[in-house]
Amino acid sequence: MEITFLPNTWNIDQVLDDLNEHGFAFIDNAYSKDYVHQLVEECTSNLNRFRDAAIQNGVVSKIRSDHILWITDELNMATQHVKALDEFSKILNQNFYLGIKQVEAHFACYNAGEFYALHRDNPQKKNDRVISAVYYLHEEWQEDWGGQLHLQDKNDHWHTITPKPNRIAMFRSDLLHEVLEAKHQRLSITAWLRSNDSVI
C-alpha cells in the first residue's frame, strides 16, 4: 500500500494557518487504519535494533532516555510517511518560502519511565532543521499514561499535547518543548524538515 499523495484527512489550509499564527499545528487521523497497522508492525518488529538516543558519538546525555532507529529506504512503511512529509514540504515552501530540501526521520520508543527534558531541536538556528513533525503510532493512548508533548508556541503560550494515536504534531524547530515521562510504551516517528540536503 502506497501513499502517493497527501491523504484527504490533512486539512492543509488549517495547518498552514496554525503554523503561521502559533508556530505549531496538528493533523489528526493522519492515515488509514491499514497503513497504521502495517507501520506499527514495522516499528515493533524492529524494536531490537533501536539504540539509546542519549548516546551520540560515545557521549552520554542526561536529558533524554528514549530509544531510536533512523529511517532508511529498507523500512518501507515509515518511508511512505517520510514521502508524505516531503510532499507537504513543497506546500510549506510555496507558502512560507522555507527552502526545505530534505526530510530526515527516526522511530522513537519511550518505555515506561522515559522522557525528553526541555530542549529545542534547532537551538539558535545552529542546524538546518526548520519544522519538526512527530507522528504518534502506538494504537492506544490513555490520558493517565503521561508522555505529553509540552510545547511553548511562538507567542510564548504553553500547550500540553496528548500523543494521540495517528496524530502528527508539527512545530517550528526553534521552539522550546519537552516530552513528559511516559508511563506506558510510547511509539513515534520524529521527522525534521531541513533546509539543507546534507544530513549531519
Q: Under the rule (CB under 6 A), what is the footprint of ligand OGA?
A: 108, 116, 121, 134, 149, 163, 177, 179, 188, 190
Q: Toward ligand OGA, which CB reaches closer, 100 or 149?
A: 149
Residue nearest to Mn ion (CB): 121
* Strand 158-161, strand 51-52: pairing: unpaired
195 binds, among ligand OGA, Mn ion, none (CB under 5 to 8 A by kind): none
CB of 1 vs ligand OGA, minimal distance in Å: 25
Q: Toward ligand OGA, which CB reaches closer, 1 or 118?
A: 118
CB of 2 vs ligand OGA, minimal distance in Å: 26
* Strand 168-172, strand 59-60: pairing: unpaired
CB of 60 vs ligand OGA, minimal distance in Å: 17
Question: Residue numbers of the site for Mn ion (CB under 5 A)?
Answer: 121
Q: From 92, 100, 85, 88, select the one nearest 20 (Cα to Cα).
A: 92
Q: Toward Mn ion, which CB reaches closer, 35 or 146?
A: 146
149 binds, among Mn ion, ligand OGA, none (CB under 5 to 8 A by kind): ligand OGA
Q: Toward ligand OGA, which CB reaches closer, 95 or 173?
A: 173
* Strand 59-60, strand 55-56: pairing: antiparallel
Q: From 126, 134, 120, 117, select the one nearest 192 (Cα to Cα).
A: 134
CB of 163 vs ligand OGA, minimal distance in Å: 6
Three-class SS state of 89 = helix
Three-class SS state of 66 = coil
b/e per residue 56-82 (b: at least 16 CB within 10 A): eeeeeeeebbbbbbebeeebebbbbbb
Q: Toward ligand OGA, which CB reaches closer, 35 or 116?
A: 116
